[in-house]
Chain A
Amino acid sequence: DAKTTQPTSMDCAEGRAANLPCNHSTISGNEYVYWYRQIHSQGPQYIIHGLKNNETNEMASLIITEDRKSSTLILPHATLRDTAVYYCIVRVRKSGGYNKLIFGAGTRLAVHP
């Protein structure tokens, strides 16, 4: 199963873009990259996912490099409520059809005024 590497922590000023990097150099061709976040003591919240094309939704943008070995989650205008732990996950499609999400330690993003 592909593993991911993320910085332990990052800071961002409120109103600025937060760019969270993730390395997944062993990713396979059929494995998706997912991003979740976990705000203190809540359940993980889905943000965005992609396979090889860049993706954008109302929460964030996902930029995946052409070789798919790394990606960046972009929160375009970070707010204090975006302070959370952000998980970059490679989803592995297992036999039997379920999606295995391998959670690492994530990046602790602190947004400050």
Chain B
Amino acid sequence: NAGVTQTPKFRILKIGQSMTLQCTQDMNHNYMYWYRQDPGMGLKLIYYSVGAGITDKGEVPNGYNVSRSTTEDFPLRLELAAPSQTSVYFCASSYSGGAGGNQPQHFGDGTRLSIL
């Protein structure tokens, strides 16, 4: 019953460092998403993918990159960490099927990232 798994759970970075947030799902979902959540706010979409090899920008993509080489994995990369990227990052996945494609998104438990 793994669902969506994110690693690491916590990380502290120095300004200018890079890192990759990992996300994997075992539900064979074709759609995957990355969100960030700042304190007291709702989630904002960073990037999404509708299948292996296909990615696109969401609302707040600047400073991030993604790749989707397999159905299961959707890593998020920060190339030059900045204090404004301090946030909680959530990965989600969903299935595109169903009437109108109305399948819900399933979320991981997040990665808490601090940039100092």
Contacts and interface: CB of A to CB of B under 8 A. Distances in A.
A49 B94 CA distance: 14
Interface stretch (B12-20, B77-85, B97-105): B97-105
Contact of A43 (B56, B100, B101, B110): B110
Given A42-B109, A43-B108, A96-B50, A91 B44 contact: no
A43 B45 CA distance: 14
Interface in B34-58: 35, 40-45, 48, 50, 56
A99 B104 CA distance: 9
B23 to A, nearest CB: 11
A42 B109 CA distance: 5
A91 B100 CA distance: 11
B107 interface: yes
Q: Could you tell me the dominant secondary structure of chain A's interface residues?
A: loop
A49 B100 CA distance: 13
Interface in A64-95: 87, 91, 93
A99 B103 CA distance: 9
Interface in A90-106: 91, 93, 96-106
B42 A99 contact: no
Contact of B45 (A34, A41, A51, A100): A100
Given A93-B100, A98-B50, A43 B109 contact: yes
B90 A43 contact: yes
Nearest to A46: B104
Given A96-B56, A104-B42, A91 B96 contact: no
Contacts of A43: 4, 90, 92, 107-110
- Rank and list the top 4 A-B pairs by shortest CB-CB distance, nearest first: A103-B42, A43-B107, A46-B104, A103-B43
Interface of B: 4, 31, 33, 35, 40-45, 48, 50, 56, 90, 92, 94, 96, 100-110
18 contacts: A43-B110, A44-B90, A49-B104, A51-B102, A93-B100, A93-B101, A97-B31, A97-B96, A98-B33, A98-B50, A98-B96, A99-B94, A99-B101, A99-B103, A99-B105, A101-B43, A103-B43, A106-B42
